[in-house]
Amino acid sequence: MAIRRAPLLAGAVAAGAGLATTELLAGVLKVRASPVVALGETVIAMTPGTIAHKIIEVVGHGDKPLAITSVVVVILALGAVVGGLWVTRRLLALGAIVVFVVLGMVAVSSRPNTGPLTPLLCIAGGIVTMAVLDWLNREGRQADADQSRRLFLRNVGIVTAGSAVAVGFGRWVGHSRTVVERARARLKLPTQKLATPAGADLEVTGVAPWRTPPKDFYRIDTALTVPLIEPDEWRLRIHGMVDREMTLTYQDLLDRGLSDAWITIACVSNEVGGDLIGNTVWGGVPIKTLLDEAGVRGDADALLSTSKDGWTCGTPLEALTDGRDALLAVAMDGEPLPIEHGFPVRQVVPGLYGYVSATKWVTDWEITRFQDFSAYWTERGWAPLGPIKTQSRIDVPGGKARAGAVKVAGVAWAQHRGVEAVEVRVDKGEWRQATLARVPNIDTWVQWVWDWDAEPGDHRLEVRATDSTGEPQTAQRADVLPDGATGYDGAFVTVT
């Protein structure tokens, strides 16, 4: 191996050993977020809203692995640079490691709920990096002098394998998720799995099912590692502009009795025709009853909710107290919430995009005023209020169809207003009325179908919905930023 390359490889491998050490200690010490995860969360927190949306648009659910991978790659690259300096300018290399460790400590300390041990793990990782780097470079110099590359590569292999074992063992002993999964499995909630309402699902092949299975439900949040909270440890503090501060336990919620409601929730990042939307039955305690118990003061207009991982959102109090089925939910589709969807407790509010309503792993409520705070996404350029816009989507047909009778079908939504009508047109022609499925309330999406007598050729289909107020969705095309996308969904179909 060329002498110029051995120190670079030694630096990258040493940095990897340092990272592996932090993962091992994080597991042994039961730290919620290792430095790598905490740094990844910091990257996400510092990413501007427009860039964050573009990343989600391109990689979808891969945004979190991408953040972790980016952090690891950058650290390994910096390790290689330090490894190159170690041979000729050791004091500078040592200083660089110290600087990186300090910056890492500052970054992870800025993340909520990381705990006091996480910054110390950065120090341990830095010490291991120095020790391994020194050892490998000594062996690297010996290998070049003796023309023996195998000795150096053997040691690199030993460190790499040891790092992999350390990461694996750390993940194994840090079995907090297993503990929480077991606690979730032991729960016996006073809920039952409700049948899909008759007529709600048209069962047209290719159309998204009216009832979204939990495994297929979209997930958008900023948590690189989901908060792990056992029900017995969960608390919700209600404070701020209230007459009576309260702290609720999980059992307190169950003792109040649970209500079930079919509710469709959607992400503000959902593009026209997108799939960041899902519908299911949620079980929980009406938020209004809890706010009434606390006694909200007349001049308050917002609820600032905070997740266990520090994420915040502001919700209009009006939307929580106007009679809609706004829930502090503990169940999804008749079962305890999945961990990724907010277990043990989350918020579900019909008619509002998730960024201003759907706080998962919620642990804090502050009753306040919008003028007095800025929540996570509003700090990044999104609108403070997020009412869901009327939208519709074409699911079928695909790009090709046979001439004759063709079913054009999809879904439409206008939560807490309801969909009054859906229309389809072909090649900018006359709007044609589609048939709507029957839904149990105005808070869910609705399936629709239109029978098209398709003629051969290339055609452009478009769809629009009208809500129960008589307002049709706008044709004006707009991006998701700052408060949700608009425009007609369309599909090109070649008929043969």
The mean-pLDDT minimum among 2-16, 114-128, 203-217, 470-484 falls in 2-16
pLDDT value at 2 more than 50: no
Of 444, 184, 215, 191, which Cα lies nearest the Cα of 334?
A: 191
The domain defined by 214-380 carries CATH number 3.40.630.10: no
Please give the angle made by the CA atoms of 242, 359 and 270, to the nearest 5 degrees.
Answer: 135
pLDDT value at 459 more than 70: yes
pLDDT confidence band for 293 (50 / 70 / 90): very high
- For the stretch 400-454, pLDDT in tens is 999 999 999 999 999 999 999 999 999 999 999 999 999 999 999 999 999 999 9
Both structure tokens of 376: 């996570």
What whole-number percentage of the chain has pLDDT above 70?
91
391-495 shares the fold of 214-380: no
Note the pLDDT of residue 34. 76
Please tell me the distance from the alpha carbon of residue 256 to that of residue 244, in angstroms, as a whole number: 18
- For the stretch 248-280, pLDDT in tens is 999 999 999 999 999 999 999 999 999 999 999
- For the stretch 169-201, pLDDT in tens is 777 766 667 788 889 988 989 888 899 999 999
Note the pLDDT of residue 171. 72
Angle in degrees, 0-180, between the axes of helices 63-88 and 49-59, rounded to the nearest 10: 110
Both structure tokens of 45: 């927190």
pLDDT value at 104 more than 60: yes
- For the stretch 309-354, pLDDT in tens is 899 999 999 999 999 999 999 999 999 999 999 999 999 999 999 9
Residue 231, preceding bond cis, omega within 30 degrees? no
Note the pLDDT of residue 143. 45
Q: Where are the domains of the chain?
A: 5-174, 214-380, 391-495
DSSP string, 31-70: -SS-HHHHHHHHHHHHS-HHHHHHHHHHHGGGHHHHHHHH
Which residue(s) pair with 464 in the sheet?
423
DSSP string, 263-285: EEEE-TTPPTT---EEEEEEEEE
Q: How many beta carbons lie within 10 A of that of residue 469, not counting itself?
A: 10
Positive or negative CA dihedral for 449, 451, 456, 459?
Answer: negative
Q: How far is CA 263 from CA 278, 362, 436, 441, 490, in A?
A: 9, 19, 18, 9, 26
For residue 111, what are the contacts with CB-CB under 8 A and spacing of at least 6? Answer: 33, 38, 41, 42, 45, 118, 310
- In this structure, which topology does domain 391-495 adopt according to CATH? Immunoglobulin-like (2.60.40)
pTM of the model: 0.75
- HEC sequence for 301-313: CEEEEEECCCCEE
Please tell me the distance from the alpha carbon of residue 89 to that of residue 95, in angstroms, as a whole number: 10
**What count of residues does the chain have?**
496
Note the pLDDT of residue 179. 81
